[in-house]
Amino acid sequence: MQNNSPNSSSESIDPSSAVPIDALAGLPRRLLGLGLDWGIATLISWAFAHGNGMVTMAVWVVMQLTLVSTLGMGFGHLVFGMRVVNVANAGRPGVLQVLIRTVLLALFVPGLVWGKDGRPAHDRAAGTAVVLAGRTAQR
């Protein structure tokens, strides 16, 4: 008999999702990854623009857009064992998904709004999820 409880750890985020809830990376790990990426962007900003906040943000955005759309992870994701996936197929997210995710995350507020599916608003809007790198997708 199948368990249809929304709290079942083997159940996916939603019926069309290829990402199980227990594969999602938790908030502490995500914050560590974000902190590392922001720290790298800050160092680059200090090296070339005396720590200008707008330059730091621009460097962070460029890092996220290029790395996540090509590798499926930024430096912080890599170091802390995470990757960004498309929830529809658990594969690498598309460029448009990464753009939506990055712009919304740069606005900061969507990162504070988490849904019942365990994903923040910027990931839900982009159709992405941050998962533990060693976890495989299941349907």
* Cα dihedral 111, 103, 97, 60 sign: negative
How many Å apart are CA 77 and CA 70, to the nearest integer? 13
CA distance 18 to 85: 10
Written as tens digits, the pLDDT of the chain (139 aa) is 334 434 444 455 565 578 888 899 999 999 999 999 999 999 999 999 999 999 999 999 999 999 999 999 999 999 999 999 999 999 999 999 999 999 999 988 777 788 888 889 999 999 999 999 986 554 4
**CA–CA distance, 58 with 41 (Å, rounded to integer):** 8
